Amino acid sequence: MVFMNKRQLGKSDLYVSEIGLGCMTLGTDGAKAVTLLESAVELGVTFFDTADLYDKGENERLVGKALAPVREKVVIATKVGNRWNDDGKSWRWDPSKAWIKEGVQRSLERLQTDYIDLYQLHGGTLDDPIDEATEAFEEIKSEGLIRAYGISSIRPNVIREWLGRSNLTSVMMQYSLLDKRPEETVLDFLAQKGVSVIARGPVAKGLLADKPAASYLDHSEQEVEKVQQGLDALVTPERSKGQLALRYALSHPAVATVIPGTSRIEQLEENVGAAQTSDLSQSELASLHDLSRANRYENHR
């Protein structure tokens, strides 16, 4: 197993690899998915994020199968809150205490483990029964079923509410050079509170790596292309475009880990390679930051 730098997740006793693996894109080809997961472990990845929603639980099953032999060496995160309807084609939002406590039992079974390292609420609004959900997380933590809990949300108002009413370890949110909204509202605040960010989408669906330019959020195709050209100019023998993008997301003190997804070994190796490169200098960081304009959250402020 290759050594990768680890960072503390919030104030918990969990330490996660700088480059994690977002498992949503693994697919349902069991043999291929397990091979990819095993390769990630060999390359030094110790943080794996899945959810009960992905492929109706099959994603959790594959993650559990592949990581069972190294269970004590890895940190497994999963999510709860989206509940499949009986038609098997749609799901509904259910952040109730009852569903969180039932959901954790189902996830434990699929993951083939007797504890989940990080259990996250998969979304959320201000209308949720936050105190009730917090009570559920605290109870299953005291029972030893989970080691820590967090939320997955990009809504600043929801994040602030949870911070004031719970003992969150982490917040998962989208963050990249093409989505700098968290810089405006929540990153510094979370760092001050000692709550870690798990950055998803750090290469913006591949647009900051090897995919052709296309519109993204409120960036036009032309704006994305300009960012890509700027990245090209900053590439060195040590760092590729995608690796520069990953190091950018990792540069903020609030960010504990980035979780790019992949379905190919080659892309996995490229992503993990970012961990073997040096931190960005202040001048490099400034140059990267200047490549794209600031985004801002228009809603849920």
Which residue is listed with tokens 């960036």? 219
Q: Which of 42-46, 55-59, 211-215 has the lowest mean pLDDT?
A: 55-59
Distance CA 254, CA 258 (A): 11
Instruction: Give this prediction's pTM.
Output: 0.96
Task: Count Cβ neighbours within 10 Å for each residue of 254-270 and write b for 16 or more, e otherwise.
Answer: bbbbbbbbbeeeebbeb
Distance CA 60, CA 76 (A): 10
The 10s digit of each residue's pLDDT in 83-129 is 888 787 888 899 999 999 999 999 999 999 999 999 999 999 999 99
The 10s digit of each residue's pLDDT in 123-166 is 999 999 999 999 999 999 999 999 999 999 999 999 999 999 99
User: DSSP state, 8?
Assistant: E
Does residue 3 register a pLDDT over 80?
yes
Q: Where are the alpha helices (DSSP H) in 19-126?
A: 30-42, 58-67, 97-111
Q: State residue 298's pLDDT score.
A: 75
Q: Where are the alpha helices (DSSP H) in the chain?
A: 30-42, 58-67, 97-111, 130-142, 156-165, 181-185, 187-193, 221-234, 241-250, 265-273, 282-289
CATH class in words for 6-289: alpha beta
Radius of gyration, CA atoms only, the chain: 18
Give the active site residues.
54
Please report, for the chain, the start and end positions of each structural domain, with discontinuous segments joined by +. 6-289
